[in-house]
Copies of this chain bind each other. A is one copy, B any other.
Amino acid sequence: MNIKSVSALTGLPAKTIRYYEDIGLIRPRREENGYRVFSDTDVHKLAFLARARSLGFAVEDCRSLLALYDDKNRASGDVKSIAQHHLKEIDRKLKELTTMRQTLSELVRSCAGDNRPNCPILSDLAGHGALRSGGTEGA
């Protein structure tokens, strides 16, 4: 199986597949002419990676997950631990984005969005920095 077919099969761009080889996530054989040859196992691993990445796992997490997957003596606790950590990260990002969204949507709502210069969005951006003092010189 050549890279194009694997790409079609896994949904991963060929560039990404080469990259994954570069960083040692897979080790496809080579033909005489230098072309990569992907075994079913390689394809399976790539599909695994694609799925894990789509769930937002970092590539290094994916490496660990893949290793655990290969290890038939693994403890599911190790897997769960990685997933929980990732889940926390997601929650952190969600919280941050939600806060941003809240503020930003209020600002957008309050802005006329016409030809006039008056703009609550800019006022907020400019005004929030309540600089205590320190300015001893002019512009």
Binding site for B on A (CB under 8 A): 1, 5, 9-10, 37, 39-44, 46-48, 50-52, 54-56, 65, 68-69, 71-77, 79-81, 83-84, 86-87, 90-91, 93-94, 97-98, 100-101, 103-105, 107-108, 111-119, 121-122, 124-126, 128-129, 131-132, 134-139
Do B111 and A87 have beta carbons less than 8 Å apart?
no
Q: Is the interface of A mostly helix, strand, loop or mixed?
A: helix
Do B104 and A86 have beta carbons less than 8 Å apart?
yes
Taking CB as reference atom, which chain B residue is nearest A100?
B56
With known contacts A47-B131, A55-B104, A90–B83 Cβ distance under 8 A: no
Separation of A63 and B104 alpha carbons in the complex (Å): 18
Q: Which residues of B contact A75 (CB under 8 A)?
A: 114-117
